[in-house]
């Protein structure tokens, strides 16, 4: 009986070590990507510039400046009257407003690295092209408190 208890304890200790290692590696990977990095070894040195140019092409006149000024882009729902998707300029969740009230927050990320402006384009195009699939793919969370 003591041998079985020792084996279970050793196995638990090993699994905890593996879990901590995986979580630590994921945390390092997440924290190593600094906001404003102009170069990503997978995307190349001009990826951010090309992403900005694409976003300017996709947005209506003046929307890019509003994005820069406010720090977010509001995309109206193509199917639901009064629903607005608020896409942040910096990393973060997309906030969904219905009738001016924050109803939920969405998390949808690309599988591979994309520059920030490309992620904004991704959200906007997915919402406009197939809002239902966008909502199916996104992880939804309730508002935290007081509109945050």
* Closest C-alpha among 88, 139, 95, 94 to residue 117: 88
Q: Are 143 and 104 in contact (CB under 8 A)?
A: yes
**Region of poorest pLDDT, from 12-21, 34-43, 92-101:** 34-43
pTM: 0.68
Looking at the chain, the whole-number percentage of residues with pLDDT higher than 70 is 77
| Domain layout of the chain by residue ranges | 1-32, 38-141
Return d(Cα 42, Cα 36) in angstroms, integer.
16
Q: What is the pLDDT of residue 38?
A: 47
Strand order in the sheet with 139-141: 72-76, 83-88, 94-98, 101-107, 139-141
pLDDT digit string, tens, across residues 92-122 = 999 999 999 999 999 999 888 888 999 999 9
User: Tokens standing for 24?
Assistant: 């630590």
40: pLDDT confidence band, cut at 50, 70 and 90? low
> 42 vs 50, which has greater pLDDT?
50
As a whole number, the mean pLDDT across the chain is 83
Q: Can you tell me the mean pLDDT for 79-91?
A: 94
Q: With CA atoms as reference, report the closest residue to 119 among 129, 109, 128.
A: 109
3-state secondary structure of 102: strand
Strands 72-76 and 101-107: unpaired
């Amino acid at each position: 009986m003591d041998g079985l208890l020792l084996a279970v304890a050793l196995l638990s200790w090993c699994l905890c070590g593996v879990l901590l290692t995986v979580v630590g590696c994921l945390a390092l990977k997440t924290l190593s990507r600094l906001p404003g990095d102009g170069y990503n070894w997978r995307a190349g040195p001009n990826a951010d510039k090309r992403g900005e140019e694409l976003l300017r092409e996709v947005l209506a006149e003046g929307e890019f400046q509003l994005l820069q000024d406010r720090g977010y882009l509001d995309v109206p729902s193509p199917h639901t009257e009064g629903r607005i998707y608020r896409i942040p300029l910096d990393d973060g969740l997309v906030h969904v407003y219905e009738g001016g009230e924050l109803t939920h927050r969405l998390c949808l990320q690309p599988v591979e690295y994309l520059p920030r402006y490309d992620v904004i384009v991704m959200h906007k195009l997915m919402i406009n092209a197939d809002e239902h699939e966008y909502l199916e793919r996104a992880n939804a969370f309730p508002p935290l408190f007081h509109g945050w």
